Amino acid sequence: MDITPVIVFIALVCAGIPVAVAVVQNSRRYAVGSPAAQSPVPAKPAAATSPVNGRYEMKPQPYKQGGMATIWLGKEKGTNRNCIIKTPRRGTNIDNVYLDKLMQEAGYLKRLSHPNIVKYLDDFYLNGEFHLVVEYISGENMMPSSPRSSQGEQKIVDWARQLLDALAYIHSSGIIHRDVNPKNIMLSNDGTVKLIDFGTAKGLNGHIKETGAKDPFTQIANKGFDIPELFMGGESDQRCDLCGLAQTCIYLLTLRQPNDLCASLINTNWPRSYSEAATVSNYLISSGISKRASRCLAQAVMFSPGSRFASAHAMLAALSPGSTVAAQGPEALK
């Protein structure tokens, strides 16, 4: 008797046993009512906010990562008022400097109260980390991603007057901002402008004693908006803030970054003589900007601080229509 068919049959049966077992187990696994048969339970969504210090609620994800601080959106529990919560940037070899800078910013803002300066609300430590709380400004900064048209001279000069009043107040308090540029100026929905981000501010002429790690920010660069003495790491005073504001106005009026504009007109990022400043002024005039504003702004962005306005009050007077004060310098930049 040939047993080959019998052997083949037995082999097939043995091979099929694991498959049958797997099929049975699989059918049991997906039986009606079993957990696996039901729709997957979605993960519990993250809380919209997290309690902070018993007084605030904070969004779980950062709103923005700044150069020296992480920015969070928060809300004050009692008033339901929106706020900004800042914590020092982490994960670098100068974390201690970022902490010092944020604490220093808190110290400056505590001393300041002006309608055109971001308002200090609170600061505290939580789980060993420093937190600074400032007002939330509903609006946008003055450097939108794709500007298409100027707001017009009248409006921009009005904004400049607000900011010059704020700068005069800051300087009289013994502080210089050192980072005045469109990104650090907020236009709120009610039409007012506010200066923000005092992370690189310093005491003016030793008026304020500063402590902490060695400040590595002796050079401050903002492509297209570089201020000579800050870009080169030199000594600075209130005139660097006036240069930064004038550069901001030139940008808002022409939609061209001021350093690039100067380079195209005089082959250097800043006017180094009154004749070069006059070239910049004449370009602004040809663009439809008044002579008073053109000459004022051209003088305020000159390379040498000594060639600019001495104070925010002086620049404000020169910029104001009807004032008897005009741009200084040889023949008023003619």
Per-residue pLDDT band at 13 (split at 50, 70, 90):
very low
pLDDT value for 77: 92
Cα first-last separation, the chain: 123
180: tokens are 């005045």
106: tokens are 């808190």
* Cβ neighbourhood burial of 171 (10 Å; 0-12, 13-18, 19+): buried
Per-residue pLDDT band at 10 (split at 50, 70, 90):
very low
DSSP H helices in 197-311: 228-231, 238-254, 258-266, 274-286, 291-300
Per-residue pLDDT band at 150 (split at 50, 70, 90):
confident
Per-residue pLDDT band at 145 (split at 50, 70, 90):
low
Beta-bridge partners for 27: none
Note the pTM of the prediction, 2 decimals. Answer: 0.81
DSSP state of 146: S
| Percent of the chain topping pLDDT 90 | 68
**Single-letter residue type at 194:** K
CATH code: domain 139-208+220-333 is 1.10.510.10
DSSP H helices in the chain: 4-29, 95-111, 153-172, 228-231, 238-254, 258-266, 274-286, 291-300, 312-319
**Every domain of the chain and the residues it spans:** 50-135, 139-208+220-333
Lowest-confidence pick of 209-223, 247-261, 282-296, 307-321:
209-223
* SS3 state of residue 251: helix
Residue 307 confidence (pLDDT) above 90: yes
pLDDT value for 22: 44
Per-residue pLDDT band at 17 (split at 50, 70, 90):
very low
CATH code: domain 50-135 is 3.30.200.20
Per-residue pLDDT band at 14 (split at 50, 70, 90):
very low
For the chain, what is the mean pLDDT? 84
If we measure between CA atoms, which residue out of 316, 317, 327, 313 comes closest to residue 278? 327
CA distance 161 to 169: 12
CA distance 134 to 152: 30
pLDDT value for 256: 94
Q: Tell me the chain's radius of gyration from C-alpha atoms.
A: 31
pLDDT value for 38: 40
Residue 141 confidence (pLDDT) above 50: yes
